[in-house]
């Protein structure tokens, strides 16, 4: 049984979250470390995330976002783990934005921490949108507006790498 293998619900959930992290979150974040400008890295991250959210082989939406909304404020290990995953994602976006500011690709008057938090909120909103709409174009529109807010135009609807090893 599952409990014989994992011991309890908490351990089972944490293992499921580890699997989700490895197969979903890391591929999305990995794009931020690719060579190229800020535009291509952010555009790539959003493209991989859109693909993840709409893939017919996966449940719609984002496990991390769903569970963070439900259990993120819990004081136990599950709540702490969910919060840390979101902070890691925010941190990766922040570093990308800071690099873009240092390279003159993003206006310096913007606070990169605030922008990272805002973009992560937009990304989690994309997850909700994917759950309630059967229109991948809606996610593309959200991506386009988000990058436009950063004054980084979306160059191509299919821009960016795909999910893979």
pLDDT of residue 73: 76
CB-side exposure of 39: number of CA atoms within 13 Å? 14
Nearest CA among 60, 48, 50 for reference residue 162 = 48
pLDDT of residue 8: 80
pLDDT of residue 120: 95
Kind plus residue range of the DSSP H or E element containing 152: none
Q: How far apart are CA 146 and CA 38, in angstroms?
A: 13
Q: Using one digit for the tens of pLDDT, what is the confidence trace for 111-162?
A: 899 999 999 999 999 999 998 888 889 999 999 999 888 876 555 555 444 4
For the chain, domains (ranges, CATH) are: 2-149 (1.10.357.10)
Q: How far apart are CA 15 and CA 35, in angstroms?
A: 31
pLDDT of residue 1: 67
Q: Using one digit for the tens of pLDDT, what is the confidence trace for 14-35?
A: 888 898 888 888 888 899 998 8
Q: What is the DSSP string of 4-43?
A: HHHSSHHHHHHHHHHHHIIIIIHHHHHGGGSSS-HHHHHH
Residue 160 region, left (φ>0) first, then alpha (ψ -120 to 50), else beta? left
Query: For the purposes of burial, counting CB atoms within 10 Å of the CB of 121, is it exposed (0-12), middle (13-18) or buried (19 or more)?
Result: exposed
Please list the alpha-helical segments (H only) found in the chain.
2-6, 9-20, 26-30, 38-54, 63-71, 77-102, 112-132, 136-149
Share of the chain above pLDDT 90, in %: 38
Q: Residue 52 in contact with residue 163, Cβ under 8 Å?
A: yes
Q: How far apart are CA 76 and CA 137, in angstroms?
A: 38
Flag whether the pTM goes above 0.75. yes
């Amino acid at each position: 049984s599952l409990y014989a293998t994992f011991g309890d619900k908490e351990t089972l959930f944490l293992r499921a979250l580890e699997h989700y992290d490895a197969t979903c979150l890391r591929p999305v974040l990995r794009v931020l470390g690719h060579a190229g400008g800020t535009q291509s890295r952010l555009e790539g991250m959003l493209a991989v995330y859109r693909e993840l959210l709409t893939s017919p082989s996966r449940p719609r939406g984002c496990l991390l976002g769903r569970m963070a909304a439900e259990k993120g404020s819990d004081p136990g290990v599950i709540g702490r783990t969910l919060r840390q995953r979101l902070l890691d994602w925010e941190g990766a976006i922040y570093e990308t934005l800071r690099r873009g500011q240092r390279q003159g690709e993003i206006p310096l008057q913007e606070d990169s921490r605030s922008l990272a938090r805002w973009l992560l909120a937009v990304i989690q909103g994309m997850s909700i949108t994917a759950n309630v709409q059967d229109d991948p174009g809606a996610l593309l529109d959200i991506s386009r507006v988000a990058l436009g807010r950063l004054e980084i135009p979306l160059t191509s609807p299919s821009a960016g790498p795909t999910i893979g090893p």
